[in-house]
Structure 1
Amino acid sequence: MPYLTAPVLAAGTLARAPQPVLLTGDGLVLRPWRAGDAPAVHAAFQDPVLHQWHIRSCDSEEEAASWIEEWRTAWEGEDNAQWAVADADTDELLGRVALREIALGDGVAEVAYWTVPGARGRGVAARATTTVTRWAFEEVGLMRLELLHSTANPASCRVAAKTGFALEGTKRNGFLHRDGWHDMHLHARLRTD
């Protein structure tokens, strides 16, 4: 049965080129993950705050290395794009920003991020989100980006607001966290915003 509309973006839109390095212009670099990032990822996931908002734990540097390999190869699959967020001068890992659940045909993806404890309160998540959002709209041509976070996570809500993601509603019992079901705020930005 034929579709009545054409895909927003064709398959191959991302994979036809290497994953780019993106600069925020204010001291951060969003770069593809490297095998050498495993110790820093493992250390980041020892943080109780990450345990509060994420469903995965990382028990070893070897496990972190396997995640990084998944993140690196996901680019070719075009359904997930992950960047390390690092200090542009020192290359110190400050966090991660991602486009997940990419649906090229629909022109939609979900933005996700985390930061290491020492990077919090410095605007790292907002700066990385702004940069990946601009790239997704202007360079790739996506039409809509969504951002989900627990309603119990006001820091993530502030990031969404700072980066122009309008609150569209609340998904009741939208995600199972370690401490039970959380209502989730759904924020979104359109290319036309």
Structure 2
Amino acid sequence: MATVDGPHLTTPFPELRGDGLRLRPWDADSEADVEVWLRGLTDPEFQRWNTPIRSVTDVESARESLRGKELGMADGSAASYCITDTATGAPLGHIGVNAIHLVLSHARIGYWVLPESRGQGVATRALGLAAHWALTGLGLNRVELDHAVGHDASCRIAERCGFRYEGTLRGAMFEAGRRDAFRDMHLHGRVAGDPEPDGL
């Protein structure tokens, strides 16, 4: 696996643990991981708020998508993690520190949680863990998070984890299920000098 030179960045990226969660790399050769990835990306609630650039509709496209995540992990451009329960190992969702840019010292975080794991603080705990690592372990200055306007749960999670609302980006993401129409999204940001959020 490649090594990426930089002040704080080497790959492979580490597993992250804390607050009852283990964030581990996805495995495209694992049938279980592929099934979880497919379930997550075809979940109606996920599709309501997200339209991936490349569709994931079956096992093969899910495996191909996960291979792309592995490549990002290998070249240091993204850290894609399966969120799991520390005690049971059960998969709970996904979180990724994406678009890692060492020169500008920033990245973008995205996440989703499986239907059966919602309402348990999984996204908040995983976001707090990943953001802390990005700003300390990776040594980045800024981490961004964005979501479709109207996704109030994501707004609350972002603010709970110290990501301040910074504005609305007009026509910045696809409409649900379409690639020929666009909608607005909220931008949240957190920088290294911000105080740690209470309770995380």
Q: Bin the TM-score by the shorter chain.
A: 0.7 to 0.9
Q: Secondary structure at the match of 1:140?
A: coil
Asked whether the 8 Å contact 1:96–1:113 carries over to 2, the reply is yes
Letter in 1 for 2:140: L
1:164 aligns with 2:162: yes
1:39 alignment partner in structure 2: 35
Q: Which moved more, 1:68-77 or 1:113-122?
A: 68-77
- Give structure 2 stretches of 5+ with no counterpart: 195-200
What does the per-residue CA deviation read over 1:99-125, in whole Å, with 9 as the maximum and x for residues that have no partner? 111111000101111111111111111
Question: Aligned pairs, how many?
Answer: 182
Q: Is the 8 A contact 1:175 1:183 kept in 2?
A: yes
Unaligned 5+ segments in structure 1 are: 1-10
Alpha-carbon offset, residue 44 of structure 1 = 2.0
What's the CA shift for 1:93? Answer: 1.4
Report Cα offsets for 1:77-116 as digits up to 9, x if no partner: 2222211101112222111111111111000101111111
Q: What is the deviation of 1:15?
A: 6.1
Give the drift of 1:30. Answer: 0.5
2:20 paired with 1:22: no
Q: Which moved more, 1:53-62 or 1:169-178?
A: 53-62
Residues 15 and 192 from structure 1, CA distance in 2 versus in 1: closer, same or farther, beyond 3 angstroms?
Answer: closer
In structure 1, distance between residues paired with 2:9 and 2:67: 16
Equivalent residue for 1:79? 77
Say if 1:99 and 1:109, in contact at 8 Å, map to a contact too. Answer: yes
Q: Which amino acid aligns with 2:41?
A: F
Please, what is the CA RMSD of the aligned residues? 1.6
Ranges of 4+ aligned residues in structure 1 off by more than 4 Å: none
Counterpart Cα distance in 2 of 1:123 and 1:65: 28
TM-score, normalised by the number of residues in structure 1: 0.88
CA distance in 1 between partners of 2:185 and 2:41 (Å): 22
CA drift at 1:68 = 1.5
1:113 aligns with 2:107: no
